[in-house]
A and B are shown apart, each in its own frame.
Chain A
Amino acid sequence: MLALDRVSKTYPNGVQALSRFSAEIRLGEIIAIIGGSGCGKSTLLRAIAGLDRASAGTVTLDNEAIVSPHAKIGIIFQEPRLLPWLSVADNIGFGLADLPAAERREKVARALERVGLAEKAQAWPRELSGGQAQRVAIARALVPQPEVLLLDEPFSALDAFTRRDLQDHLLDLWADTRPTLILVTHDVDEAVVLADRVLVMRPRPGRLFDQIEINLGRPRDRNSPLFENFKRSVLTSLDRSLDRNVPDRDATQGPGQAMWW
């Protein structure tokens, strides 16, 4: 289980990007984090990934505090960030350097097959389309079999058609080993298609505003009335999150309140 306990982050320039964000995320759960631009979504994800330290609060995975990148946690960024000097196959195998070559080759071949890029194994990253490159990035992150996979707006640079394709593809890959997915997005449709639970954040300082369980079976029909209902409730919550006068639903315990009883 991944536990976020009052994670806060103040950048050296004084910007308070994240304030007391708490959540508990079960193994295999798919979480979507949604919120306006600049409300600390990337900051939160980087703290979970161990790329940046939180200024206060803790991130723990299976009772182990995360303070630096961890073998059980993988991350996919908005850009594929492939290494341009490695072939597609070597990019996918980048995190497997410790394995014997034969085993690595076999895992990479399987992953290539799985993301449908087997014929591109020896291509250079520059020869891929945006969607293909992001699929390689997904394969690279999944091939070491992380327990938690973080995705920071992974599909936002892609066209609508490719985006849908990759959303379905991601679910498909997730089903293989069922890691925990934490997906940052600003696309309500994407959140409702993928997530078991949507966490809505509000800005300045970034904090948790609302949680919405998406009780829909999979595969989900994007056109069903139920789907539309969930989309509407996420949208409503998102709208309210941008209004300064609405209290946070989760903030029942302010800093002083806990001590009063």
Chain B
Amino acid sequence: MAMISDAPALQQPSEPAESAAAPSRMARYARPILGLLLPLALALGWELVVWLGWSNGRLVPPPSRVFATIAELARSGELVRHVIATLWRVGLGFAFGVIAGTMLGAVSGYWSLARRLLDPTVQALRAIPSLAWVPLFILWLGIFETSKVALIAVGVFFPVYLGVMGAILSVDRKIVEVGRTFRLSGPAMIRRILLPAVLPAYVVSLRVGLGLGWMFVVAAELIGASEGLGYLLLDGQQLGKPAQILAAIVIFAILGKLTDWLIEVAAAPFLRWQDAFGRAKGA
């Protein structure tokens, strides 16, 4: 769940305070290290407790056993198979969700008639807890890949849709007017004013959508799968292997963070103008 809790809030970062000086190198690296202190201490403490024999660590295996499990899975080639299966599902579901969310969000944001037609329905659908779709998707699309990808796509769709629509609606009218005074054509207005203005909020919505994609892949794979990290979780539960469950959780966390970071890095060159973005990174 780590990758969901640290997903950024949907709204754009607020105006940065001009006075806040650029953080020094030391401070930039010291902050994440400070954040690592508590989990590291807990892990080491637990390791020590088990090593001293105060607990057998059967239900809560010490870190060394979790990493041994990961290493074992990696050696047998199992790990790669499960990771690829899960990544593939998330990737596909994310792609579909982003495409649909972007297109419908853009239409709704740009064109008020479409918004009046479309938005109430989307908002109503959004009110349904997405996992409630699962039985229906299984009936419609079968128990295999299609229903899993569809579920993930649904999870990704809503934050992206809302993010794109909200971003377009909140583009500063005053800046659009600058485009008008320079007589930009419709396409030029979109390319030179709307797209750059919308980009920061769009990146945020992609990251939120990705976080939900990771949440939903777990749900999809718990429902029934023969491979994938979610399958490892379920398998670990049924066979009583907590180390395997923890191993899968650790890998989920790593993949979630990694993919989130990829979006951030890919977007960074386009968002250099926005100092709020650079500052939020360290948080």
Contacts and interface: CB of A to CB of B under 8 A. Distances in A.
Interface of A: 49, 51, 68-71, 74-75, 77, 79, 81, 83-86, 94-95, 97, 124-126
Interface in B132-185: 174-175, 177-178, 180-183
B180 A126 contact: no
Contacts of A75: 181
B196 interface: yes
Which 9 pairs, one residue from A and one from B, show the smallest C-beta to C-beta distance?
A85-B196, A85-B273, A95-B182, A69-B181, A124-B273, A81-B178, A69-B183, A75-B181, A81-B174
A83 B181 contact: no
Contacts of A77: 174, 177
B193 interface: yes
A77 B175 CA distance: 11
Nearest to B182: A95
A94 B182 contact: yes
A51 B181 contact: yes
A18 B174 CA distance: 22
B175 A83 contact: yes
B274 A84 contact: yes
A84 B273 contact: yes
Given A69-B182, A69-B183, A94-B182, A81 B177 contact: yes
B275 A126 contact: yes
* Most chain B CB inside 10 Å of its own CB: which residue of A70, A85, A94: A85
A51 B175 contact: no
30 contacts: A49-B181, A51-B181, A69-B181, A69-B182, A70-B183, A71-B183, A75-B181, A77-B174, A77-B177, A81-B174, A81-B175, A81-B178, A83-B175, A83-B193, A83-B196, A84-B274, A85-B196, A85-B197, A85-B273, A86-B273, A94-B178, A94-B192, A95-B182, A97-B188, A97-B192, A124-B272, A124-B273, A124-B275, A125-B273, A126-B275
A95 B272 CA distance: 23
A75 to B, nearest CB: 5
Interface in B220-256: none
Contacts of A85: 196-197, 199, 273-274
A49 B177 CA distance: 11
Contacts of B274: 84-85
Task: Give the size range of B's interface with the partner.
Answer: 10 to 19
Nearest to B196: A85
A44 to B, nearest CB: 16
Nearest to B178: A81
Nearest to A146: B181
Contact of A126 (B174, B175, B178, B273): B273
A68 B185 CA distance: 12
Given A74-B181, A85-B196, A94-B178, 16 more contacts: A49-B181, A69-B181, A70-B183, A71-B183, A79-B174, A81-B177, A81-B178, A83-B175, A83-B196, A84-B274, A85-B199, A85-B274, A94-B182, A124-B272, A125-B273, A126-B273
Interface string B189-220: 00011001101000000000000000000000
Nearest to B16: A126
B13 to A, nearest CB: 13
Contacts of A95: 182
A7 B192 CA distance: 33
Given A81-B174, A83-B175, A83-B193, A51 B180 contact: yes
Contacts of A125: 273
A101 to B, nearest CB: 16
B7 to A, nearest CB: 24
Contacts of B199: 85
Contacts of A124: 272-273, 275
Nearest to A141: B181
Contacts of B174: 77, 79, 81
Contacts of B275: 124, 126
Contacts of A79: 174
Nearest to A94: B182
A12 B205 CA distance: 36
A94 B180 CA distance: 12
Contacts of B272: 124
Given A85-B273, A124-B273, A126-B273, A69 B180 contact: yes
Nearest to A95: B182
A126 B15 CA distance: 11
A143 to B, nearest CB: 11
A84 B175 CA distance: 10
A51 B183 CA distance: 10
A104 B272 CA distance: 23
Contacts of A74: 181
A85 to B, nearest CB: 4
A133 to B, nearest CB: 13
